[in-house]
Amino acid sequence: MNPFDVLEISPDASPEEIKAAYHRLAKRWHPDRFTGPEKEVAEARFRQLAEAFSMLKDPARRPLVPTPPPKPAPSAPSEAEAARERTPEDWAAMARQALEAGKPDQARALIHYAIRMDGAKAAYHALLAAILEQEGGDLRQAVKALETAVRLDPKDVESHLKLAAHFEQLGMSARAQGHLQQAAALAPNHPKLRARKAPAGQARPAATRPPAPPQGIVDQLKDLWDRLTRRG
């Protein structure tokens, strides 16, 4: 018999709690409250309560309380659980680190994960374009990523400038000019735009100057006479 279970108390109950539990249950199961077959059940229960109380009030008879087993330490989250807890910005930050470390293939996989979680961030698509540019693959894939970036953020000057450069490289001058105009409207003093403008007053290259008109025969003789007289 487990006296703690009989008295419906915990093994670390104090003497006052043991006494209170006994009196409460003894009052409930007192045989004088029952008749017929129920009285026999109550008498057996009442004797059991008395025996349990007798065991617990006597320290010598009180059973030892077993030490509960230690709770297992919380295990470290698995890699899959850790992955689920990461935010899109966490994946994008890891992609930037991989790109800076010269690992574009790893960076591409990471930024794709961020885009799958949140495809409305223009910066993620711009980063994907930078990764594709470093990989040196199909330029049109980088263009597609940049077009998504400027669609989500029309004020992204850097993406407009990159699109202009890529469209020039692809021979699509009209589209390149359109993105240059948008960049100029957003940031007219951007260093990349200033570099495209020739400084005021700069002389045209020699190859574009009109050729000097040929000297006439009279001018040639005059020039020869001047040189001869200067020698004398």
Give per-residue pLDDT as tens, 37-63. Answer: 788 888 888 988 998 888 887 766 666
CA angle 143, 125, 100 (to 5 degrees): 100
14 in any annotated domain: yes
Please state, as a whole number, how many other Cβ atoms lie within 10 Å of the Cβ of residue 83.
Answer: 12
Residue 33 has a pLDDT of: 85
190 and 109 share a domain? Answer: yes
- Domain with 39 in it: 3-57
Of 14, 39, 57, the domain-final residue = 57
Residue 7 has a pLDDT of: 85
Residue 152 has a pLDDT of: 94
Pairwise CA distance, residues 100 & 93, whole Å: 11
Which tens digit of pLDDT belongs to each residue from 171-202?
999 998 999 899 899 988 888 887 766 554 45
Residue 86 has a pLDDT of: 86
49 and 101 share a domain? Answer: no
52 and 91 share a domain? Answer: no
Residue 203 has a pLDDT of: 46
Long-range contacts of 83-87 (CB under 8 A, 24+ apart): 87/117
> In this structure, is the dihedral angle defined by the CA atoms of residues 93, 97, 99 and 103, taken in order, positive or negative?
negative
Angle, in degrees to the nearest 10, between helices 88-100 and 104-117? 170
231 in any annotated domain: no
Check which CATH number belongs to the domain holding 52 and give it: 1.10.287.110
Q: Which stretches of the chain drop beneath a pLDDT of 50?
A: 67, 200-201, 203-208, 232
Residue 232 has a pLDDT of: 47
Record the pTM: 0.51
Residue 204 has a pLDDT of: 47
51 and 139 share a domain? Answer: no
DSSP assigned state of 14: -
Query: Phi, psi at residue 209, to the nearest 5°?
Result: -70, 145
Instruction: Give me the number of domains the chain comprises.
Output: 2
Kind and range of the H or E run holding 152: helix 139-152
48 and 120 share a domain? Answer: no
101 and 51 share a domain? Answer: no
Q: Do residues 138 and 130 lie in contact, with contact meaning Cβ atoms separated by under 8 Å? A: no
213 in any annotated domain: no
Residue 218 has a pLDDT of: 55
Contacts of 93 (CB under 8 A, 6+ apart): none
193 in any annotated domain: yes
96 and 138 share a domain? Answer: yes
18 and 96 share a domain? Answer: no
96 and 169 share a domain? Answer: yes
Check which CATH number belongs to the domain holding 121 and give it: 1.25.40.10
